[in-house]
A and B are shown apart, each in its own frame.
Chain A
Amino acid sequence: EDQVTQSPEALRLQEGESSSLNCSYTVSGLRGLFWYRQDPGKGPEFLFTLYSAGEEKEKERLKATLTKKESFLHITAPKPEDSATYLCAVQPYTGGFKTIFGAGTRLFVKA
C-alpha cells in the first residue's frame, strides 16, 4: 500500500536554528514526490517536485532532497515567517496522477 509518514509531528525552533523535516514513503513506483507549505486556513502552496533519488532542489532557506525511501526538507537559519505546516506527498505511476499526502509537520519558529 502506498504510504507517506512525516516526522516529527511538530517542531519548535529558535530563529536561526537550522533543522530538517523527514518524509518516509513506500510506493509501488514513484512518479514524483512533492513538498507543500500550508498556512492555517489556506490551501497548500507548492514548493518542490523531486523525481529521482539523489535529486536536490533549493528555494531561499529551503532545500529538499530525495532517496529511494525518504525525503528531507532542510531549513537553514529559519525565520518566524517560515512557521507553517509542511506537507509531503507522493504520486505513484498507477492511479492516474492521484497524490497521497502525509499528515504534515507543524513548524514553529520563535524570534
Chain B
Amino acid sequence: GAVVSQHPSRVICKSGTSVKIECRSLDFQATTMFWYRQFPKQSLMLMATSNEGSKATYEQGVEKDKFLINHASLTLSTLTVTSAHPEDSSFYICSARVSTENTEAFFGQGTRLTVV
C-alpha cells in the first residue's frame, strides 16, 4: 500500500506557542489530504480537507485561524496549531488519497500533541 509519513509522532509544547505537523506521501502524489483529530476511545473527527494549491475546506466548528493548513505540493501538507492551549491536546492524524480514481485513503502514524 501507499506510504504516508507524519512528523513528529509526539510533541509537547507550552501554552501559547504554535506547533507544526507535517504529512508527506512518500511514494505517490496526493491530490487530496485530510486532517483528523481523535480523542481517546473515540473515532476520527475530520477537521479539514486540503487540495494541492488551493485553500483547505474546514468542517463546521473547526477554527481555520487556529488550525492552519497548507498543501503546497503534491507530497506535503502541514497543519499548524496556533497559540495552542491545553484543550488542543489530542491525537492528530493525516491521510492522503492516491489519485482521483481510487477512493481509499492511507493514513500517517499520527501525532500526539500535549500542550502544557
Alpha-carbon separation in the docked complex, A46 to B102 (Å): 13
Query: What A residues does B24 contact at CB under 8 A?
Result: none
B103 touches A43 (CB 8 A): no
Q: B74 on the interface (CB 8 Å rule)?
A: no
B-contact bits for A30-52, CB 8 A (1 contact / 0 none): 01101010000111111001000
A49 touches B109 (CB 8 A): no
Q: B44 on the interface (CB 8 Å rule)?
A: yes
Residue of A nearest to B45 (CB): A101
Known: A96-B49, A98-B49, A101-B44. Contact between A43 and B6, CB under 8 A?
yes
Can you list 27 pairs linking A and B with CB atoms under 8 Å apart? A32-B103, A32-B104, A36-B107, A41-B91, A41-B112, A42-B110, A43-B107, A43-B109, A43-B110, A44-B44, A44-B93, A44-B107, A46-B105, A49-B104, A87-B43, A87-B44, A91-B103, A96-B32, A96-B57, A97-B32, A97-B103, A97-B105, A98-B49, A99-B46, A99-B105, A100-B46, A102-B43
